[in-house]
Amino acid sequence: PKTDIVFLKVHKSASSTVMNILFRFGETHNLTFAFPLGGGNQLFYPQPFSARFVRGFSPRSPRRFNILCHHMRFLQPEVQKVVSSSAFYFSILRNPVQLMESSFVYYKGASAFSRARSLEEFLRQPQRYYNPTRGDSHYARNLMTFDFGFNHNGEASAKRVQLMLKAIEASFDLLLISEYFDESMVLLKEVLCWDLDSVVSFPLNTRDSSTKSPLPDRVVEKIKSWNRLDWEIYTHFNRTFWERVERDVGRERMRRQVTALRERRAQLARTCLQGTGSVAPKDIKDSSLRPLQHGYAKILGYNLKQGLDKETERMCRRLVTPELQYSSVLYKRQFPQQTTPQPP
């Protein structure tokens, strides 16, 4: 199994669920994480990543970490200072239409969104609300492009798009697609030589459907146009994803593996969870399992069954622990009883 991993956690793309998978794998195999100085879940995002943001890094005696997965704006020369040269780089993408709809709800406090009453209103006259010089403008336009380290306000010329896609392909070993999450996890498992239980998961950081509504076609087209760079990234890597499936797994084997993954998830849900699945934040009984609530979104969570034996309870708890709480537990384990250094 590969144990040196860089995961670019692209916002609002099922990346919290992937992070839980990496946390569990790292904890099980006693691996080290490149944690942000002072803990937390962001490597000083939205600044471009720097090795000095990582707790335990020193230019004089560079230390290599097994897993780098916290939120960052990608900058490979700096990333290479904290992971092994053989590290496996991957990320997960989401259709920019759904990504923007989700961002509008989740980042409603961002300068570009705060005054617009609806996403449709924002898209009718984006320049009325959007100021490219604001430090949080990336939440409202080409968010994936920004996370990959490129200029999210750049023009979408054919030449520029090609250079951007080539740069991503040169840096990353695998790009997954959140709309095909189960297929993505099977492909990841195959490429990393992991077992099925390592990639099984429950969806985390998902929002209640009460704030979701279908988008009219005219709005969909406006989102694609407004997020043209993101759209180019998504359509290109959606295509190469299926080429990779054909090459590394095959369609028939993929179908069988996806079925096995879903059956295992359902089995774990029956073992671990009260009820049939996720619940509203107000209904989560254990406050340590309550995810961070953000913007206008209602972020769902889980209740564990009572009376589980110790080993089963531990396994189940790992599956449903939200990102911030799990990160904090692993941080304390990696740096026990040490004073927390201040960020640069």
What tens digit of pLDDT does each residue of 175-198 get? 999 999 999 999 999 999 999 999
Residue that wins the pLDDT comparison between 277 and 50: 50
d(CA 163, CA 113) in angstroms, rounded, equals: 30
pTM score, whole prediction: 0.94
At 337 the pLDDT is 73
Contact by Cβ (8 Å): 86, 104: no
At 207 the pLDDT is 73
At 234 the pLDDT is 98
At 35 the pLDDT is 97
Exposure class string for 103-122: b at 16+ Cβ within 10 A, else e: bbbbbeebbbbeebeebeeb
Q: At what angle do helices 251-272 and 310-320 cross, to 10 degrees?
A: 120
Q: Give the torsion through C-alpha atoms of 5, 10, 14, 15, to 10 deg.
A: 30
Mapped onto helix, strand or coil, the DSSP state of residue 293 is coil
Q: How many CB atoms lie within 10 A of CB 78?
A: 18
Percent of the chain with pLDDT over 90: 85
Q: Does the structure show a pLDDT above 80 at 212?
A: no
Distances (CA, A) of 316 to 203, 264, 308: 13, 13, 9
Q: Does the structure show a pLDDT above 80 at 342?
A: no
Give the mean model confidence (pLDDT) for residues 331-335. 95
Helices and strands (H and E) in the chain: how many: 14, 4
At 211 the pLDDT is 64
Range with the largest mean pLDDT of 33-47, 48-62, 233-247, 330-344: 233-247
Q: Does the structure show a pLDDT above 90 at 40?
A: no
pLDDT tens column, 104-162: 988 999 999 999 999 999 999 999 999 999 999 999 999 999 999 999 999 999 999 99
Distances (CA, A) of 268 to 23, 88, 163, 300, 316: 18, 28, 44, 18, 8
* Residue 290 pLDDT level (bands cut at 50, 70, 90): confident
Q: Does the structure show a pLDDT above 90 at 89?
A: yes
Contact by Cβ (8 Å): 33, 67: yes
Mapped onto helix, strand or coil, the DSSP state of residue 314 is helix
Fold of 5-334: Rossmann fold (3.40.50)
Give the mean model confidence (pLDDT) for residues 46-60. 95
Give the mean model confidence (pLDDT) for residues 75-83. 97
Q: Domain extents for the chain?
A: 5-334
Q: How many CB atoms lie within 10 A of CB 194?
A: 17
Q: Give the torsion through C-alpha atoms of 155, 159, 160, 165, to 10 deg.
A: 140
At 202 the pLDDT is 95
Residue that wins the pLDDT comparison between 307 and 39: 307
- Beta strand 174-177 pairing with 88-93: parallel
